[in-house]
Amino acid sequence: MRVLVTGFGPFPGVTLNPSEAAVDALQRRADTGRMPGLQVGTAVLPVDFTTIPGQIAEIMRLVRPQLVLCTGVDMAAEAITVERVAINLLDARVPDIKGAQPVDQPVVPGAPDGLFATIPVKAVRRAIQQSGAPAELSLSAGTYGCNALMFAALHHAPPGTRVGFLHIPSLRVMGTATSATALAAAVQACVEHETDIDEVGGELA
């Protein structure tokens, strides 16, 4: 199976993005044969609202992955959050690396208002927990670069390509080795589960 895992580079307020470190560590794991049966490719994208949609579309066109697992950082998180929904909205609390700060703009003009992750999110959550890292489901990927990437990847993915997004906590909360192990577990869960597991994951409010 061809797998694409992406992370983000730095942006205002985050000089070292944990998602970049985790993705680099995952690539080293794959390169040393610790992810057998998988052809793993990784990419680190700049936090640039103008280029995110086009970049992920082009990377997917070149790699032709069957699974796309995107990652970013949530500095307030205490666990890895498995995102269920991306919305077609940019509303940036802080500027991107080019200084752009869009307000109430679409990620992809003319696209649907929202898209659901196509990975087995509950199976992924369980696999991450079993790997030793805390994990939760999330109903909002925010309105910054992470949500933009998730939405664009889902929008541009060819039929049959599974796409999901994981938010990784800060390095204060979770070390790179733990995050990389969790990513590997998430990938394996996507490979093993054609459909999601029957497990409660909703919220009351």
Q: How wide is the angle at C-alpha 96 spanned by C-alphas 95 and 99, nearest 5°?
A: 65
Catalytic residues: 83, 146, 167
Given a contact cutoff of 8 angstroms between Cβ atoms, the answer to whether 162 and 118 are in contact is yes
CA distance linking residue 196 with residue 194, whole number of Å:
7
Cα gap 26→41, rounded to integer Å = 9
Asked if residue 190 lies in contact with residue 128, where contact means CB atoms within 8 angstroms, the answer is: no
